[in-house]
Amino acid sequence: MRKLNADVVVVGGGSTGTGVVRDAAMRGYRAILVERADLAQGTSGRFHGLLHSGGRYVVADPLSAAECAAENAVISRIQPAAVERTGGLFIVGPGDDPDFGDVFLAGAKAAQVPAEEISPGAALRLEPRLDPKLRRAFQVLDGTVDGWQLVWSAAASARLWGGQILTYTEIVEIIRGSEGVRGVRAVDRKTGEAIEIECGFLINCAGPWAGRVATLAGVRPVEVVPGRGVMVAMAHRLVNRVVNRCAKPADGDILVPVHTVCVIGTTDVKVADPDNLAIPRAEVRQMLEAGEALIPGFQQARALHAWAGARPLVKDDRVDDSDTRHMSRGMAVIDHAARDGVAGLVTVGGGKLTTYRLMAQHAVDAMENQTGRRHPCRTADEICPGQTPGRNYLVSCRLQEREADRLDDQIICECELVSRRALLGLWDEFPQASLDDLRRQSRLGMGPCQGGFCSARAAGLACATGKADGAQATGLLRDFLANRWLGLAPVLYGDQVRQTALDYWIFQGALDVDHLPAAPNRPAEPPAAEDQGSPPTRRQASLACSAGPAVAGEGVSL
Amino acid sequence: MSGQDSYEHNLLARASLDHCVKCTICETQCPVAAVTALFPGPKYVGPQAERYRQGQSVDRSLDYCSSCGTCTLVCPQGVKIAELNSVARAAMKKDHMPLRDRLISRTTLMGAAMRPVAPLANAALACRPLRVLAEAAVGVHRDAAMPTAQRQTFTAWQAKHQPPDGAGRRGTLVYFHGCAGNYFEVETSIKSVELLEHLGYGVLVPKQGCCGLPLQSNGLFDTARAWVRRLVAQLDKAPQDLVIVSSTTSCSGMLKHEAREILGVEDAALRAVGARTRDLCEFLLAEAERGELPLDFAPLDLTVPYHAPCQLRGHGLGTPAVQLLRLIPGLTVVESGAVCCGIAGTYGLKKEKYAIAQAVGQPLFDKVKEVAGDLAVCDSETCRWQIEKACGVRAVHPVWLLHKAYGLS
Q: Given A125, A396, A414, which is nearest B58 (Cβ)?
A: A396
Same domain assignment for residues A283 and A423: no
Helix, strand, coil percent values for chain A (each to nearest 5)? 35, 20, 40
CB < 8 Å to A495, chain B: 18-19, 21
- Cross-chain residue pair A415–B51, CB shorter than 8 Å: yes
Low-confidence ranges of chain B (pLDDT < 50): 1-5
* pLDDT tens sequence across A223-246: 888 889 999 999 999 999 999 999
Q: Is residue A296 part of a domain?
A: yes
Measured CA to CA, the distance from residue A385 to residue B342 in angstroms comes to 49
Whether residue A446 is predicted with pLDDT greater than 60 in this model: the reply is yes
On whether residue A56 sits in a domain, the answer given is no
Inform me whether the C-beta atom of residue B60 falls under 8 Å from chain A C-beta atoms: yes
List Cα–Cα distances, A505 to A62, A485, A538, B197, in angstroms: 52, 14, 10, 58
**Residue B80 with chain A: CB contacts under 8 Å:** none
**In the prediction, which pLDDT does A544 show?**
39
Strands A332-335 and A345-349: antiparallel
Per-residue three-class SS string for A199-255: EEEEEECCHHHHHHHHHHCCCCCCCEEEEEEEEEEECCCCCCCEEEECCCCCCCCEE
Residues A491-549 pLDDT 10s? 999 999 999 999 999 999 999 999 998 887 655 444 444 333 344 444 344 433 333 33
HSE of A178 in the Cβ direction (CA atoms, 13 Å)? 0
Report the distance separating Cα A13 and Cα A34, nearest Å.
Answer: 7
How far is the C-alpha of B155 from the C-alpha of A123, rounded, in Å?
A: 49
CB burial of residue A230 (10 Å; 0-12, 13-18, 19+): buried
pLDDT of residue A272: 84
**Could you tell me if residue A76 is inside a domain?**
no
Q: In Å, how far is A416's CA from the nearest CA of chain B?
A: 8
Domains and CATH numbers, chain B: 2-93 (1.10.1060.10), 295-405 (3.40.50)
Q: List all residues of chain B from 122 to 181 with a beta carbon under 8 Å from chain A.
A: none
Q: Do A498 and B56 touch (CB under 8 A)?
A: no
Residue that is last in its domain, among A244, A278, A310: A310
Residue A13 lies in a domain: no
One domain for residues A302 and A402: no
Interface-testing mutation among B14, B17, B19, B22, with chain A (most A C-beta atoms within 10 A): B22
The CATH number of whichever domain residue A109 belongs to comes to 3.30.9.10
Task: Report CB contact under 8 Å: A448, B22.
Answer: yes
| Residue whose C-alpha is closest to residue A93's, from A85, A101, A83 | A101
Q: How far is CA B402 from the centre of its chain?
A: 20
Domain shared by A294 and A405, yes or no:
no
Q: What residues contact residue A108 under an 8 Å CB cut-off, 6+ apart?
A: A54, A55, A58, A65, A114, A115, A138, A140
* Structural domains in chain A (count): 2
Q: Which of A396, A443, A457 to substitute to test the interface with B, most B CBs within 10 Å?
A: A396
Percent of chain A with pLDDT over 90: 77
pLDDT at B6: 52
B58 touches chain A (CB under 8 A): yes
Same domain, A297 and A431: no
Inform me whether the C-beta atom of residue B23 falls under 8 Å from chain A C-beta atoms.
yes
Is the pLDDT at A473 greater than 50? The verdict is yes
Assess whether A434 and A288 both reside in one domain: no
CB < 8 Å to B20, chain A: 448
Cβ contact (<8 Å) for A495 and B18?
A: yes
* The pLDDT of residue A68 is above 60: yes
Query: Given CB atoms, is B14 within the 8 Å cutoff of chain A?
Result: yes
- Is the same domain home to A305 and A401? no
Q: Is residue A286 part of a domain?
A: yes
Say yes or no to pLDDT of A196 above 70: yes
pLDDT at A400: 95
* A190 located within any domain: no
Can you give the pTM of this predicted structure?
Answer: 0.89
Whether residue A178 is contained in a domain is answered as no
Question: A480 is in which domain, residue-wise?
Answer: 397-545
Written as one string, the DSSP assignment of B129-166 is HHHHHHHHHH-B-TT---PPP-SS-HHHHHHH--PPTT
- Alpha-carbon distance B305 to B303, whole Å? 7
When pLDDT is averaged across residues A274-291 and rounded to a whole number, the result is 92
Q: Do B54 and A396 touch (CB under 8 A)?
A: yes
CA-wise closest residue to B378 among B341, B404, B342, B409: B341
Both A413 and A286 in one domain: the answer is no
Domain boundary (A310, A335, A353) is at A310
Position A412 pLDDT exceeds 90: yes
**How many other C-beta atoms are found inside a 10 Å radius of the C-beta of residue B208?**
23
Residue A551 has pLDDT above 60, yes or no: no
- Residue A541: the pLDDT is 41
Please state the separation of Cα A323 from the chain's center in Å: 22
Q: What pLDDT does residue A530 have?
A: 38
Please tell me which of the candidates A129, A235, A260 has its beta carbon nearest to residue B18: A235
CB atoms B54 and A394 under 8 Å: yes
- Which residues in B lie closer than 8 A to residue A505 (C-beta atoms)? none
Looking at the structure, do residues A124 and A238 belong to the same domain, yes or no? yes
Minimum Cα–Cα distance from B7: chain A residue: A128
pLDDT (0 to 100) of residue A327: 40
With respect to residue A12, please indicate whether it lies within any of the assigned structural domains.
no
Q: What angle do CA A48, A50, A51 make, to 5 degrees?
A: 150
- Chain-centroid distance of CA A187 in Å reads 24
**Are residues A540 and A411 located together in one domain of the fold?**
yes
Query: What mean pLDDT is predicted for residues A383-400?
Result: 94
Cα separation, A206 vs A211, whole angstroms: 8
Q: Give A-chain residues touching B46 at CB under 8 angstroms.
A: none
Give pLDDT, residue A313: 78
Pick from B19, B37, B52: CB nearest A396? B52
In the DSSP assignment, the letter for residue B350 is B
Long-range pairs for A465-470 at CB < 8 Å and ≥24 separation? Answer: A465/A424, A465/A427, A467/A427, A467/A431, A469/A519, A470/A517
pLDDT of residue A523: 54
* Interchain contact, B21 vs A395, CB within 8 Å: no
To the nearest whole percent, how much of chain A has pLDDT over 70? 90
Same-domain pairing of A536 and A428: yes
- Residues A154-178: what's their mean pLDDT? 96
Record: contact B18-A129, CB cut-off 8 A = no
Distance CA A199, CA A473 (A): 39
HSE (side-chain half, CA atoms, 13 Å) at A522: 24
ipTM exceeding cut-off 0.90 for this assembly: no
Structural domain ending residue among the three candidates A249, A284, A310: A310
* Neighbour tally for A471: CB within 10 Å: 15
Q: What's the mean per-residue pLDDT of chain A?
A: 89
Handedness of CA A142, A147, A150, A154 (dihedral sign): positive
Q: Does B78 touch chain A (CB under 8 A)?
A: no
Q: What pLDDT does residue A329 have? A: 55
